[in-house]
Amino acid sequence: MPWHIAALQQLINGLALGSVYALIALGYTMVYGIIKLINFAHGDIYMLGAYFGFYAITMLKLSLVPAMLVSMAAAALVGVLLERIAYRPLRSSSRIAVLITAIGASLLFQSTAQLVFGASFKPFPQALPFRRIQLGPVFITNRQLLIFGVAVLLMVLLHLIVNYTKVGKAMRAVAIDKEAALLMGVNIDRIISATFALGSALAAAAGILVGMYYNRIDPYMGMMPGLKAFVAAVLGGIGIVPGAVVGGLLMGVAENLVVTIGSSTLRDAVAFAVLIVVLLFRPNGLLGKKGIEKV
Amino acid sequence: MTVLAVESLSVHYGVIQALKEVSFAVEEGEIFTLLGANGAGKTTTLRAISGLLPKTEGKVLFQGRDITTIPAHALPALGLVHVPEGRRIFSGLTVADNLLMGAYHRRDKQGIAEDLQNVYDLFPRLFERRKQDAGSLSGGEQQMLAMGRGLMSRPSLLLLDEPSMGLAPILVQEIFDFIKEINQRGTTILLVEQNAHLALQVSHKACVLETGRIALAGTARDVAADKRIQEVYLGVS
Ligand SMILES: Nc1ncnc2c1ncn2[C@@H]1O[C@H](COP(=O)(O)OP(=O)(O)O)[C@@H](O)[C@H]1O
Ligand SMILES: [Mg+2]
C-alpha cells in the first residue's frame, strides 16, 4: 500500500479512536473546569461503564441502545457518589490530598471490579456483524462508523446542554466564578453533581464503544485510555470543552499515524510526545488562552 | 418596616477581628449607606449578611426572619441580593445570559421576561450589547450589568458593594443616578461606598465603620454635617 493511502486509512482509524478519547476527555475537562480537580478515577468509570453495558446486554438481554442508556445512568450515579463520598469532604483541603484520594479511588474501582467481575477479560457481545465498507482505496468498518456516529451525537447533545439549558449555563457560570454563581442562587453542590453525572455518562458510553471495537473488556482497560484522554484534555486546554474534542481527535489520529510510520510499540509513547511538544509552544493547551491561567 | 436588622455581628479572620459587634437596621424603601476607609470592614459586613462567611457571631434578620444559618444560595429566592465588590460578571457568557443567571432561582417565565425588559429599559446600553460577551464590556457597562443581574432576581433588598469603584467621574455620577432610580422603583438598598460625598447625597441614612466598629450612625444629613466626617471623608477643612 503506498504510504499516503496507508496514512489516509490510519486517519480514519484515528478519528474513530480519537472520538472515544474525546468522550472521555470531556469528563476530565468539565470536572476540572468546575472544581479544579483531576479526577483520576475517571478512566475507571469508563471501565465500569463497559461492564454495566456488558451485563445489561448479557443478563438483562437488552439491545445496544437501551443497554447503553442503562450503563450511562448507572455510571452517572457512580460518578455522583464518588464526588459525594470521596471528593466533597475534601473541598477545602490541599490539592495533593485530593489528588491522592483520586488515585486511591481509581485503585479501589479497579480492585473491586477485579473481585466482582473477575480478573480475566470478557468478550464483549457484538451488536453488529462485522462489515467493511470500501471508500475508494481505503475502508471503514461498520463498528468505526458506529463509534464515530455515537460519539458525535453525544458531543452535540452535550454542546446543546452546556450552552442552551439552564443547568448548562449554571455549569459555565460556576466554572467562571463560583461565588458569583452562589450569589445568583445557584446551589453549587448540585451543579457539581450534575457535572460528574454528565462526564461519567459520556465515559460509560465510550467504554461500551471501545468494548465493542476491541471485542473485550477487563478491569484495567481504563488505565491507558484514561491517561490518554487526560492528556487529550490538557492538550486541548484543560477546562475548555471544545478543547477536549480537538485534543481527543488529535490524539487518536497521531497515535494511528505513528503506526504507519514506525512500529506500533511507539503507539502509547506518541501521546505524551505530542503533549510535550504542544505544551512547549502553548502552555495552556491548543485552545487555551495565552498568558496566565484564569482563576 | 425593618427590612434588615444586623445585631452584634462579629467576624474573625484567623486572629484578626474584622467586625466588632456591629449593629444597624435598614428600613423599607430607603437607601442606607455604609461608609468607611479601605479595610474598615464594609465588604466583610455584606459578606456576612449574605452567608458567604463560614463563621460569624451575632444575628442577621431579614424581613423579621433569622437568616444567619440560611445558605447563601437560598437568599436570592427570599429577596435578598448581593452585588459583589468588583462586579464579578460572568465573562465568557453573553450579556443576556448574565442577566438570566440573575433570575436563576425563578420559574415564572413571564415575570422574568418582564424584568428583563425593565432592566433593558433602565440600561439601554445593555440591550444594545445583549448578545456580546460580557467580558467585552467597559467598566461602567459591567457595573450596569452587575446591578441589572441583581435586579433580575426581583429583590426587595439589594446590597451594592462599591458600585463606583474604578470608574471615571462622569460614570460615577451616572451609576449614582441609577442607584437612585432603582430605589425609586421600589427596591431598598444597602450601599457600601468610599465616595462619601455622592453616597450621602443619594442616601437616607448612613453609618460609618472604623476598623470594624460603628463610629457614627444617623440620617445622611446628620452624618454629612458631622465635623469629623467632613474632615476625614468629605475633604472639607
Ligand atoms: N479573607 C480574608 N482573610 C483575612 N483577612 C481579611 C479577609 N478579607 C478581609 N480581611 C481583612 O479584614 C479587614 C476588613 O476588610 P474588608 O471588609 O474587605 O474592608 P473594606 O471592604 O471596608 O475595604 C481588613 O483588615 C482586611 O485586610
Ligand atoms: Mg471592600
Give the relative orientation of helices A3-35 and A241-261 as an angle to the nearest 10 degrees.
150
Domain housing A141: 3-281
The tens-digit pLDDT sequence of chain A (295 residues) is 788 888 889 899 999 999 999 999 999 999 999 999 999 999 999 999 999 999 999 999 999 999 999 999 999 999 999 999 999 999 989 989 999 999 999 999 999 999 999 999 999 998 778 889 998 899 999 999 999 999 999 999 999 999 999 999 999 999 999 999 999 999 999 999 999 999 999 999 999 999 999 999 999 999 999 999 999 999 999 989 999 999 999 999 998 888 777 666 777 788 788 888 888 888 888 888 754 443 3
By 3-state DSSP, what share of chain B in percent is helix, strand and coil, each rounded to 5? 40, 30, 30
Question: Residues B115-130: pLDDT tens digits?
Answer: 999 999 999 999 999 9
The residue to which cell 457481545 is assigned? A125
CATH number of B2-232: 3.40.50.300
Select the residue of B82, B97, B100 nearest A183 (Cβ to Cβ): B82
CA pseudo-torsion sign A157, A159, A164, A170: positive
Q: Is the pLDDT of residue B234 over 80?
A: no
In the block, residue with C-alpha cell 448540585: A190
User: Is the Cβ–Cβ distance between B157 and B4 less than 8 Å?
Assistant: yes
**Distant-in-sequence, close-in-space partners of A24: CB < 8 Å, separation ≥ 6:** A42, A43, A46, A202, A203, A206, A225, A226, A229, A232, A248
Contact A107, A204 (CB under 8 A): no
Query: What ipTM does the predicted assembly reach?
Result: 0.94
Q: Is the pLDDT of residue B103 over 70?
A: yes
pTM: 0.92
Nearest Cα neighbor of A98 from A264, A106, A287 is A106
pLDDT digits (tens, 9 = 90+) for A152-207: 999 999 999 999 999 999 999 999 999 999 999 999 999 999 999 999 999 999 99
What percent of chain A has pLDDT above 70?
Answer: 97
Q: What 3-state class would DSSP assign to A40?
A: coil
* The one-letter amino acid at B189: I
Q: Looking at residue B237, what is its pLDDT?
A: 54
Average pLDDT over residues B217-221: 95
Exposed/middle/buried for residue A123 (C-beta within 10 Å: 0-12, 13-18, 19+): exposed
Longest Cα–Cα distance of chain B, Å, equals 54
Closest residue to atom 2 of ligand 1, CA basis: B13
In what helix (H) or strand (E) does residue A91 lie, and over which residues does it extend? none
Answer whether B104 sits within 8 Å of A184, measured CB to CB: yes
Choosing from B44, B83, B233 the residue with most ligand 1 atoms within 8 A of its CB, the one to mutate for a pocket test is B44
Contact assignment for A170 to B101 by CB distance below 8 Å: yes
Whether residue B199 contacts residue B191, with contact meaning beta carbons closer than 8 Å, is answered with yes
Under a CB-based contact definition with an 8 Å cutoff, are residues B145 and B98 in contact? yes
B135 contacts B87 by C-beta, under 8 angstroms: no
Supply B98's cell numbers: 448574565
For residue A277, the model assigns a pLDDT of 85
Torsions phi, psi of B234, nearest 5? Answer: -105, -5
Q: Which residues keep their CB under 5 angstroms from ion ligand 2?
A: B 43, 85
**H or E, element range at B33:** strand B31-36
A58 assigned to some structural domain:
yes
Counted domains in chain A: 1
CA distance A132 to B198: 77
- Spans of all domains in chain B: 2-232
Residue B229 has pLDDT above 90, yes or no: no
CA proximity to A275, closest of A295, A243, A292, A289: A243
Question: What number does the ligand 1 atom closest to the CA of B212 have?
Answer: 14
Strand order in the sheet with B31-36: B80-83, B157-161, B188-193, B31-36, B205-210, B213-219
Asked if residue A293 is part of any domain, the answer here is no
How far apart are the C-alpha atoms of A146 and A130, rounded to whole Å? 11
Q: How many CB atoms lie within 10 A of CB B113?
A: 11
Q: What Cα–Cα distance (Å) separates residue A245 from each residue in A146, A229, A235, B53, B207?
A: 17, 10, 10, 38, 54
CATH number of the CATH domain containing A117: 1.10.3470
Amino acid identity at B180: K
Residues with CB under 6 A from ligand 1: B 13, 16, 18, 36, 38-44
Sign of CA dihedral B71, B72, B76, B79: positive
The DSSP H or E segment spanning B57 is: strand B56-62
Beta strands in chain B, from DSSP E residues, in sequence order: 2-13, 16-27, 31-36, 56-62, 65-66, 80-83, 157-161, 188-193, 205-210, 213-219
Residues of A in contact with B159 (CB under 8 A): none
